[in-house]
Structure 1
């Protein structure tokens, strides 16, 4: 008989509500022990109010209790949820009471693993649970939600089914070469497999956007000292994260913070002002700034429009010229003193379009809004997938897609060279099997252990 296991399903800490989840064939019996007011006949999906009892029969806390009967549950087995106040102590006592009544502590990710094993969701959907929990902004949440609803798994199933049809016809050609059975030509095999290869390539390409959705777009704020980089950082974050003074060189090290623009996560790095200095500590900060520039997806160069542009501005522009750059001419509120010809020279050096130049004052809400809008336009042009297709966010999925595509391409090449059909069939079958790893159809126990070890208790 399957085990019955229990765990706290909500984050530890103080809160209004905390949940202990129990799953397995003994769930109802455990409810009868832990729930003081448990009726003789428990109706599934009814909410019962009462009190939780510890292992000695003492009242722990008020709670509500819900029993859900298999197979119509998340795990596919009987499930009971105890919803008490969000106290670490009371929730742990409820878990201990469930254990004394016959449950065991759940392994990390065991609830979701059981849902997978019972066919409630495929492996890509199970992994989407983690992405949903860890989403830092709206777009990653939306992608994870789509995958949890089966969008990626359905596309993988469709590709595999088409490859399976090719394999079936290949088997007919191999096993019955002389029979009076209609056979598919080699060119027809090639055409269909190339169609599936294009679908794999599209998914692999989407992983570039998936990485951005998962990790965020790194934006480096650069410029000489005292041009307003720290004010821009504070404005983008909506909080005073960096110290702002009129003293040049206040930011002596890089400051990195996370936020979101247009629903996508961003990582904003305020770099130390780049200039010649004898200050050893500031020199270290400047070197770190240069490293951050190299790693950035987008560089926002800030210049002070209220003064003449300096030689340092042009030196910094040369340093970032190989990156995707947006130019912010700051301190517009103080009056524009910088010559337009110098601004045009900066624009020429960094190679940005006129639409990538923002004249503003980052000390105002309106000014910050202009910069955010310009950044969002940059992201939409260069980083964000907009064709509505699936986006691969998981490195394991990308790896499997790359391997599946390589096998499929090799199979196509063998067909084009008119090698024996049996040889090409091996490669095509390998591609079919590898794709099965994504949805769990052909995943090894090692893969399953790796996937579910990333979950926390109670999930």
Structure 2
């Protein structure tokens, strides 16, 4: 924690600019050894939060013409002195600059170490640190909006409110237990009981937001299923607006799953075109069919495609048996030809949409229905509602909710107040896990291992 660390913070490869970042107490000292400003000033004379033009030197040899940003702690990302060297981009030059910095006294940063230092130095709590990596990996405007809300501290503020409400209850309980001579009544006052109800309701709302938040963050795994030759691959191509999958009149053309991601009104839709489900003696196709069956179980949403030009058969009905009614949208494809279809036996599907994947008919209506399914009116405006996207937060909040519900059971059963104190501590500790006030090294190693080296 006391070393000065360095890393390349821009993507490796050719580009206009590459940035080598240093953080630590020796950052300016190291810069003094290798940088000569064009202004002829000493590094110690350069203003804080300034960008300075000059050259990097390895001894008497000029390495590059650079711009150097100087940011002195504690008002920096890591709360330490930070130097960023803006050199020319490219594989070789950025590596040479990094080697020069390391040779002059820095050490290479570990994965995520800059953000880990920001957390350890109190610049960020753990929810904000996790928001940084979510922001970097964000695929859509909505996922970025959720990450920015968390980085801003919205979740931490809500956790602080819940903790204060629990601490008010804990203070009363401790007075009753520690000073029995004061004659304070054992039952909790009405306002403190309301605090507990609010904690349960708020944690429950946050927990329920997780599935929607996870979909916005990671994407909606959407399996396109149906028997062979109903138009699944044509549908995939229509949504992607490109010829991604091979389309022929021959049944069984798609033998493996094809996966693509499309941005649907700010939500990443992970589309999976599956092999047509049927009995087959072809070994390769049969493996694809088994994968299709597995995807029906694992998918967040199933698009069940049937052929308007053919009557239902045993293959359609067997697929229908496998589908979960709460995560399926039915698509009647090939509506541009004469209908021979009767969907009456397919009772699990509550919503049907008529389309022609080949003629691009009904695709907009289908996309709107998929969007409505994902949002379900609960996360319409992610900038206005607090949504959790991290399973670690969900798990900690579930423990908090359970601990408070245990308190209500203790009160109802007339058990000693000592038990309330135990559950209160459990609830408070679980909330502290969310923000990282209570954490362990293994957890921190796991979280920061998902970062790039330069962040």
Name the TM-score, length of structure 1 as normaliser: 0.90
Deviation, 1:201, is 1.8
- Whole-angstrom distance in 2 between the partners of 1:349 and 1:7: 59
Do the aligned residues in 1 keep the contact of 2:70 with 2:84 (CA within 8 Å)? yes
Aligned residues: 448
- What is the match of residue 375 of structure 2? 380
- Whole-angstrom distance in 1 between the partners of 2:144 and 2:401: 28
Do the aligned residues in 2 keep the contact of 1:300 with 1:328 (CA within 8 Å)? yes
- Whole-angstrom distance in 2 between the partners of 1:267 and 1:42: 50
Secondary structure, aligned partner of 2:344: helix
Do the aligned residues in 2 keep the contact of 1:211 with 1:393 (CA within 8 Å)? yes
- What is the match of residue 230 of structure 1? 233
1:371 is the counterpart of 2:371:
no
The CA deviation string for residues 45-75 of structure 1, in whole angstroms up to 9 with x for no partner, is 222223333x444222332111011111111
1:144 is the counterpart of 2:139:
no
Name the TM-score, length of structure 2 as normaliser: 0.90
Unpaired segments of 5 or more residues in structure 1?
none
- Whole-angstrom distance in 2 between the partners of 1:60 and 1:178: 77
- What is the match of residue 116 of structure 2? 113
Deviation, 1:366, is 5.8
Show the 5 A alignment for 1:260-275: 260-275=263-278
Q: Which of 160, 183, 205 in structure 2 is aligned with 1:157? A: 160
Secondary structure, aligned partner of 1:15: coil
- Whole-angstrom distance in 2 between the partners of 1:368 and 1:157: 45
- What is the match of residue 403 of structure 2? 407
Secondary structure, aligned partner of 1:60: strand
Do the aligned residues in 1 keep the contact of 2:6 with 2:22 (CA within 8 Å)? yes
Deviation, 1:125, is 0.4
- What is the match of residue 4 of structure 1? 4
Unpaired segments of 5 or more residues in structure 2?
none
Secondary structure, aligned partner of 1:393: coil
- Whole-angstrom distance in 2 between the partners of 1:433 and 1:153: 14
- The root-mean-square deviation of aligned C-alpha atoms, in Å, is 2.5
- Whole-angstrom distance in 2 between the partners of 1:343 and 1:77: 70
The CA deviation string for residues 182-230 of structure 1, in whole angstroms up to 9 with x for no partner, is 7684253433222212212222222222332333211111223222211
Pair 281,3 (structure 1): closer, same or farther in 2 beyond 3 Å: closer
- Whole-angstrom distance in 1 between the partners of 2:36 and 2:359: 59
The CA deviation string for residues 370-397 of structure 1, in whole angstroms up to 9 with x for no partner, is 3322322222338857684322221222
1:124 is the counterpart of 2:113:
no
- Whole-angstrom distance in 1 between the partners of 2:97 and 2:239: 44
Deviation, 1:20, is 0.8
Show the 5 A alignment for 1:286-325: 286-305=289-308, 307-312=309-314, 314-316=316-318, 318-323=320-325, 324-325=327-328
Deviation, 1:167, is 1.0
Secondary structure, aligned partner of 1:301: strand
Deviation, 1:338, is 0.9
Pair 229,415 (structure 1): closer, same or farther in 2 beyond 3 Å: same
- What is the match of residue 425 of structure 1? 421
Do the aligned residues in 2 keep the contact of 1:190 with 1:416 (CA within 8 Å)? no
The CA deviation string for residues 267-316 of structure 1, in whole angstroms up to 9 with x for no partner, is 211111223433332222222212212222222122333x2334256425
Do the aligned residues in 2 keep the contact of 1:220 with 1:269 (CA within 8 Å)? yes
